[in-house]
């Protein structure tokens, strides 16, 4: 390991001169051009690399942020969120650490977070319990944080999420424009912000269009869904001609039931999902879906976090950022069948 001292010795100068030059603080006219050059050259020749740990303990700052997530299995958007966070973090020379509550106790996560003097924390958390415990501890340790793609769990920090309600509205209008009048909404029973937001979007749009809302809230996340089967089994004149799903996953579950009953998508039934990830593309009929900007959300969250790291006082005010979603028509939505 080449240290500052090694470089200083090789360049025939002092450790502080080397540090100053290598950190680009030489511009203040403190170090002569010739010595500066000499230091840079020897540092490169020796393959010097700053020991960030030592720097961190000297400065009291670490260029590391963390993502804490309680995402369960098969979490689709994990990669996308990650990618966005990393994109922005690495642009600012920050590294990212990951903690999953499913694989580590809260206590041990906390231990790591403060033990390694993590600069700030991004939460992607569904379970309020997890979040509030950790947030309280972080407040005590003065570590900034915020949440991404979840409900706000505190009146401090910030929240970045997608603006879901208009997305579902757009989906309903899209179907309406295609001639659909019996549009069923399909979600499940969970007390999560996004469930309410999207359902609300559906209600609003249906009302404005003068249509009768029809909401199926499955009791469980995993099927089968008898209510849906019942709707699909009705005669063609009364059966829904379109289903908007809370998620791509649910839209595909609807696809499954339609398939069983030999309803053809999109000829007999149009389908619109929500999320816009791989599921939508790999459906037998590419799914029309409302795309959430997961990468952007990760990026935005990171930016807000870095801002809080630089200005801890801003933790006091709570800031919400809702990023727009976009309807992305696939092949699963088409003109309504003739009545």
Partner DNA sequence: GAACGTTGCTGAAACGCTTCAGCAGAATCA
Partner DNA sequence: TGATTCTGCTGAAGCGTTTCAGCAACGTTC
**Footprint on this chain of DNA (rule: CB under 7 A):** 1, 3-5, 13-17, 19-20, 22-23, 25, 29-32, 34-36, 48-51, 54-55, 57-60
Binding to a second copy by CB under 8 A, coded x per residue (else -) over 82-111, reads xx--xx--x--x-xxxxxx-xxx---x--x
Distance of CA 81 to the CA centre of its chain: 4
Q: Which of 26, 258, 304, 306 binds a second copy (CB under 8 A)?
A: 258
Nearer to DNA, 31 or 290 (CB): 31
Q: Which of 20, 38, 80, 125 binds a second copy (CB under 8 A)?
A: 80
Angle at which helices 164-177 and 193-208 pack, to 10 degrees? 40
Pairing of strands 95-100, 64-69: parallel
Question: Which tokens hold the place of 266?
Answer: 């999109």
Query: d(Cα 163, Cα 279) in Å, to the nearest integer?
Result: 21
318 phi/psi in degrees, rounded to 5? -100, 135
Q: Which does 98 bind (CB under 5 to 8 A by kind): a second copy, DNA, none?
A: a second copy
Q: Which does 20 bind (CB under 5 to 8 A by kind): a second copy, DNA, none?
A: DNA
- Burial class of residue 32 (count of CB atoms within 10 Å of its CB; 0-12, 13-18, 19+): exposed
Nearer to DNA, 95 or 100 (CB): 95
Pairing of strands 120-124, 64-69: parallel
Angle at which helices 106-115 and 128-141 pack, to 10 degrees? 30
Nearer to a second copy, 99 or 158 (CB): 99
Q: Which of 3, 56, 190, 229 binds a second copy (CB under 8 A)?
A: 56
What residues pair up with 160 in beta bridges, in sequence order?
148, 321
Give min distance, CB of 283 to a second copy, in A: 7
* 127 close to 71: Cβ distance less than 8 angstroms: no
Applying CB under 8 A, the residues found at the interface with a second copy are 47, 49-54, 56-57, 62, 64, 71, 73-76, 78-80, 82-83, 86-87, 90, 93, 95-100, 102-104, 108, 111-112, 114-117, 140, 248-249, 252-253, 255-256, 258-259, 277-279, 281-286
């Amino acid at each position: 390991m080449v240290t500052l001292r090694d470089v200083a010795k090789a360049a025939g100068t002092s450790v502080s001169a080397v540090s100053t030059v290598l950190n680009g603080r030489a511009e203040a006219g403190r170090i002569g051009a010739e010595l500066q050059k000499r230091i840079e050259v020897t540092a490169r020749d020796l393959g010097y690399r700053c020991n960030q740990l030592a720097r961190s303990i000297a400065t009291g700052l670490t260029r590391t942020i963390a993502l804490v997530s309680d995402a369960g299995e098969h979490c689709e958007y994990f990669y996308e969120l990650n990618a966005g966070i990393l994109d922005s973090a690495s642009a600012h020379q920050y590294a990212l650490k990951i903690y999953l509550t499913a694989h580590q106790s809260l206590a041990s996560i906390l231990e790591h977070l403060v033990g390694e003097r993590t600069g700030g924390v991004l939460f992607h958390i569904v379970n309020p319990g997890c979040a509030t415990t950790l947030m309280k501890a972080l407040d005590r340790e003065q570590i900034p944080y915020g949440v991404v793609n979840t409900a706000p769990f505190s009146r401090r920090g910030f929240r970045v999420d997608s603006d879901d309600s208009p997305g579902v509205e757009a989906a309903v209008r899209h179907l309406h424009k295609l001639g659909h009048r019996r549009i069923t909404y399909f979600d499940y029973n969970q007390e999560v912000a996004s469930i309410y937001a999207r359902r609300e979007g559906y209600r609003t749009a249906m009302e404005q269009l003068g249509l009768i809302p029809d909401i199926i809230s499955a009791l469980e996340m995993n099927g089968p869904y008898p209510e849906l089967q019942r709707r699909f089994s009705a005669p063609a004149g009364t059966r829904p001609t379109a289903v908007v799903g809370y998620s791509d996953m649910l839209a595909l579950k609807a696809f499954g039931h339609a398939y069983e009953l030999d309803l053809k998508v999109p000829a007999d039934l149009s389908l619109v999902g929500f999320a816009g990830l791989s599921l939508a593309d790999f459906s037998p009929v590419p799914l029309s879906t409302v795309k959430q900007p997961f990468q952007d959300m990760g990026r935005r969250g990171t930016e807000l976090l870095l801002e809080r790291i630089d200005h801890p006082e801003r933790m006091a005010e709570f800031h919400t950022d809702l990023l727009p979603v976009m309807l992305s028509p696939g092949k699963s939505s088409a003109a309504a069948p003739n009545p």
